[in-house]
Amino acid sequence: MIVMIKRIPFLISIVILFAGTKNVLAQESKKGLYTAEFAVQAYTYRNYFPQNFIATLDTIQKLGITELEGGGGRIDPADYRRLCEERGIRIPSTGASYQELVDDPQKVAATAKIYGAQYVMCAWVPHEKGQFSLADAQKAVNDFNAAGKVLRENGLTLCYHAHGYEFQPYQKGTLLDYIIQNTNPEYVSFEMDVFWIHFGGGDCVKLLKKYKDRWKLIHLKDMKPGIPKDLTGGTDVEFNVPLGTGEVDIKGIIKEANKIGIKHFFIEDESSQVLKQVPQSIAYLKSL
């Protein structure tokens, strides 16, 4: 009887611990799979910014978007940042062309710092259409390492945004493997555009797992099912569809990205239906 009485507090503690664990799990499940800020790539609204810059920013704000990737085009960088901040929007990442990075990475860094950005992404390596070669990849590695060093010295991170043409076979992998493996991790990281990785024949989830320390940013885009694919890095913009309605494994990608600690997911929609489709994509992310 004495033994039974002594065991009661222990059993009670187990019950309390179990109940507490269930409570934590319940709270985590309520958070949903997508827990990052809602963000968009400015290129999504490329057809609207020139018409009315302020109204377009207001549209973005009303969607609950609090992060933008990309600069303001002809708008002065300081003014662009101010207009965004007035609407509760930050600019954690901006873009630069390959040539800008080669010619004057210090100028690229200075502009990015005005925006308050942490990342600078480059979305294209010049090459003959459909013929991205080892020589192109080797030059990109050298140029990215050099520019990335300058950006790192300025407190910024260079991210190469693969575009699908890098899946030309090379040795036991692809030229994307070559670029990732030969760029200096201290100076060069990567942004995964899930549409273009998928379009080029890559497996987004497997690549996130394989190079988990190198991916810092993600473009969330979905693809019309069954479209023809190739290594050109280009296709009909209308093949962009709302997240969750296409053939890209958006849910699986977000799940793996969460595991490796990616914090910034930018919705990008290149179609002519962004005013309709971006709200649908946000609704999908909220439903996960």
Q: Tens-of-pLDDT digits for all 288 residues of the chain?
A: 444 434 444 333 433 333 443 443 333 344 799 999 999 999 999 999 999 999 999 999 999 999 999 987 789 999 999 999 999 999 999 999 999 999 999 999 999 999 999 999 999 999 998 899 999 999 999 999 999 999 999 999 999 999 999 999 999 999 999 999 999 999 999 999 999 999 999 999 999 999 999 999 999 999 999 999 999 999 999 999 999 999 999 999 999 999 999 999 999 999 999 999 999 999 999 999
277, exposed or middle or buried, with CB in 10 Å at 0-12, 13-18, 19+? buried
pLDDT of residue 31: 74
The pLDDT assigned to 116 comes to: 97
- Asked if residues 177 and 170 have their Cβ atoms less than 8 Å apart, the reply is yes
Instruction: Give the three-state DSSP class for 114.
Output: helix
Whose tokens are 């704000």? That residue is: 61
Task: Tell me the sheet residues that pair with 189.
Answer: 159
In the prediction, which pLDDT does 17 show?
A: 38
Cα 260 to Cα 208: distance, rounded to the nearest angstrom: 8
| Two tokens, residue 187 | 């100076």
The three-state DSSP-derived secondary structure of 214-274 is: CEEEEEECEECCCCCCCCCCCCCHHHEECCCCCCCCHHHHHHHHHHHCCCEEEECCCCCCH
Give the per-residue pLDDT at 74: 84
Report the relative pairing of strands 67-69 and 90-95 from DSSP bridges: parallel
Containing 119, the helix (H) or strand (E) segment is strand 119-122
Q: What are phi and psi of 266, to 5 degrees?
A: -100, 120
DSSP strand pairing (90-95 vs 119-122): parallel
Give the whole-angstrom CA distance, residue 92 versus residue 76.
Answer: 17
* Nearest CA-CA partner of 158 in 166, 148, 149: 148
Q: Are 120 and 159 in contact (CB under 8 A)?
A: yes
All domains of the chain, ordered by start, with CATH?
A: 41-69+77-287 (3.20.20.150)
